[in-house]
Amino acid sequence: MNKVLMSGNYVIGEAAIRAGCRFYAGYPITPQNELTEYMAEHIRSVEGGVFLQSESEIAAINMIAGASAAGLRVMTSSSSPGISLKQEGISSMAACELPGIIVNIMRGGPGLGNIRPSQGDYFQATRGGGHGDYRTIVLAPGSGQELADLTMTAFDLADKYRNPVMILADGMMGQMMEPIVFKKPKPRVYSKKFMLQGAGNGKSKFIRGLLLDPIDSEEHNWKLARKYAVISISEPRYELYNIDDAEMIIVAYGTAARIAKGAIKRLRGSGINIGLFRPITLWPFPELQLRELAAKVKKYLVFEMSTGQMLDDVRLALQGYADIKFHGRPGGAVPTPAELANVIAKIYKRNY
């Protein structure tokens, strides 16, 4: 297969189209505008492809909900404040069991913040963000190639579990250009019985999230909970890097994990053996896999481009069996590998 050089935002768009996305609705916001631009130019070149620039982020999420109900593979994208506006719609899609992809190219916050890269939306993504007992599968790519691969995977997971899937990246990953090889997507597996395409001669179909009878509503919630339990067991994804002889393990995802790998190379060159545990699914968080490492390694450093949000999940996973430290930079400030290496060297009171 041919290798191409593309920016991250373009990669997501191209991978989505190749995966069969045929409806995109979005509203401009930096630093994800290139993704909307790419979809505007390219999705209409494939048969049945529809692009809509909506009048708002709220409109966009409800547009893809309708198109998903009709049976299309759908996607919307935004950046942090725009994702906040989509939360009610994401909750409704989860309630109605509608598959769809939501891309968040994170920027600095809270509030309008700034357009620099950040990881301050971890809570919003992994805790649902909207109202009610629901979950969103969250994928955190760590490279341009993973942006391509996990975008295709996201569509498959959304269909498999009839649930929204979020791709959580940041402004640096969205703007960075890297060589990419697009894999061949899997054939879509999604029953027509879940699609509203007209009753014809059959029984009328209904998709609804408003359940006024509390007993019906409770049973529906338990049904969703059983599905989320299956996802939490079946779908955790992670990467191990230089773990075998590690004195300390850094836990980081996305761009922060790339920075961590640079720091690890510097430290290992000076004889400080550091490894990396990189969650690829932020929900379900690979807690059991991380906990298994605590039998051997007792020192951990959580590294995020935030004030420490994934830190909570690491603490829950390790359950007090290890010493956990934290280093982060919030609000769009991007740390360097040298900065992180210095932090770890000070912990060990050694020069590198």
Domains in the chain, please, with CATH? 4-198+205-234 (3.40.50.970), 239-348 (3.40.50.920)
Report CA 326 to chain centroid distance, whole Å: 22
318-336, pLDDT tens digit by residue?
999 999 999 999 999 999 9
Provide mean pLDDT across the span 12-18.
Answer: 98
Spatial neighbors of 110 by CB under 8 A, at least 6 apart, are: 120
CA–CA distance, 62 with 72 (Å, rounded to integer): 14
At 1 the pLDDT is: 61
Reading the block at residue 327, the tokens are 């280093």
Report CA 214 to chain centroid distance, whole Å: 32
144-184, pLDDT tens digit by residue?
999 999 999 999 999 999 999 999 999 999 999 999 999 99
Question: Exposed/middle/buried for 243, CB within 10 Å: 0-12, 13-18, 19+?
Answer: middle
* Global pTM value: 0.96
59-96, pLDDT tens digit by residue?
999 999 999 999 999 999 999 999 999 999 999 999 99
Reading the block at residue 319, the tokens are 């359950």
